[in-house]
Amino acid sequence: MKTNDHNPLTAYTAADNRYETMKYRRCGKSGVLLPLISLGLWHNFGHSDDFKKARIILRTAFNHGITHFDLANNYGPPYGSAEENFGRIFNMDFKSYRDELFISTKAGWDMWPGPYGNLGSRKYLIASLDQSLKRMGLDYVDVFYHHRPDPETPLEETMGALDHIVRQGKALYVGISQYNAEDTEKAAKILKELGTPCFIHQPRYNMFERWVENGLLNVLGKEGVGSIAFSPLAQGVLTNKYLKGFPEDSRAVKDARYLKTDQITKEKLDKVKKLNAIAEERGQSLAQMAIAWILKDERVTTVLVGVSKPEQLTDNVNTLKNLTFTENELKEIEKILA
């Protein structure tokens, strides 16, 4: 990672007013309040990224009352490097604030070679969390997720591993990610019977990807499970970034693994332009309106944003100044997205 050690930051003291502007929402039926905006470390925190900038982004987040930092074992690149860098920054800046932070990590995607470094076995999940805790220098995480469904491993084994991890004291809560409505209901039932309720679900959700509305949100509401929506800006498409072509520093140009230029069609851009016009009428950026649109549903606990600059994070936090929509605005948005 680019360290910029020749220009170190001064010692960090969190802003005194950090809790004054952030809004918080209860996570399902738990005792936990999460900030409406959470910070994801999926991109921009690996060894090839700017360490100083990563550190400033984390400081900016906490100074704005963002208490929830979201990681996974394979975030980087390379795998594990986002957790390593977060651990370094945590040790330098946030150790004294540990009890004010809500830190999560996950396992479920490929992580190391061989048959035990992927998917949903008890062997993989427990070993992965042990590795994650070492990389971050933590005794426990606040929530540990199974990162994706595993069709080959019995759900009882995967949920049993999550329950065991809580009983070991290595995680306070557990969650699942990308499970459909039916499997979420089954997983929640198993965890409830084990005595470790399913705390949270992390689905991909944005104006263009709305599969969660086909049953999943209903299950979460019924079961008392919170939710944290990832990719709320559709990898940057729901911003003004692509309205005039493809900037050199954009994700579509820099990292085609996650967003290909051919995914940003003329039809999609036409919709983005119309949505942008509504956002301007609301006095918001398109990114702010896209985040507010997700948060209009109380079953969504928090929105997970990823940023490459601290200014983007501040812009996202300013979403909270206007979270309400008129009926006409919602109808107009639906007409555009139809």
Long-range contacts of 327-336 (CB under 8 A, 24+ apart): 329/278, 329/282, 332/278, 333/207, 333/275, 333/278, 333/293, 336/271, 336/274, 336/275, 336/278
For residue 105, what is the domain's CATH number? 3.20.20.100
One-letter identity of residue 17: N
Tell me, what's the pLDDT at 251? 53
Q: How far apart are CA 235 and CA 187, in angstroms?
A: 29
Q: Give the pLDDT of residue 243.
A: 83
* 164 class by beta-carbon count within 10 Å (0-12 exposed, 13-18 middle, 19+ buried): middle
Model confidence, pTM: 0.93
Say how far residue 193 (Cα) sits from the centre of its chain.
27
Q: What is the pLDDT of residue 181?
A: 98
Read off the tokens for 5.
């050690």
**Domain tally, the chain:** 1
Is 258 inside any structural domain?
no
The pLDDT assigned to 109 comes to 98
Residue with the two structure tokens 């929509």: 325
List Cβ neighbours of 59 (8 Å cut-off, separation of 6 or more).
Answer: 9, 12, 93
Look up the domain containing 81 and give its range: 24-236+287-322
Block means of pLDDT (10 residues each) for the chain, 338 residues, are: 64 98 97 98 97 98 98 98 98 98 98 98 98 98 98 98 98 99 98 98 98 98 98 94 67 55 83 97 98 98 98 98 98 97
Q: Is 337 domain-assigned?
A: no
In a domain, 227, yes or no: yes
Is 1 part of any domain?
A: no
**Buried residues in 61-97 as b, exposed as e (16+ CB within 10 A):** bbbbbbbbbbbbbbbbeebbbbbbbbbbbbeebbeee
Helix (H, G, I), strand (E, B) or coil at 173: strand
Q: What pLDDT, on the 0 to 100 scale, is given for residue 5?
A: 47
Buried b (16+ CB within 10 A) or exposed e, 10-37: eebebeeebeeebebbebbebebebbbb
151 assigned to some structural domain: yes
3-state class (DSSP) for residue 229: strand
Other Cβ atoms less than 10 A from the Cβ of 310: the count is 17
- 253 inside domain: no
The answer to the question of residue 243 being in a domain is no
Closest CA to 103 of 64, 132, 63: 132
By the 8 A CB rule, do 333 and 275 touch?
yes
243 in Cβ contact with 276 (< 8 Å):
yes
167: number of Cβ within 10 Å: 12
Instruction: Name the residue type at position 257.
Output: R
Q: How far is Cα 136 from Cα 94, in angstroms, rounded to an integer?
A: 12
**Token pair 């990224």 in the structure block, residue:** 49
Strand, helix or coil at 59? helix
Q: How far, in Å, CA of 61 to CA of 305, rounded?
A: 11
pLDDT tens sequence across 49-70 = 999 999 999 999 999 999 999 9
Q: Is residue 278 part of a domain?
A: no
- Planar angle of CA 245, 249, 252, nearest 5 degrees: 60
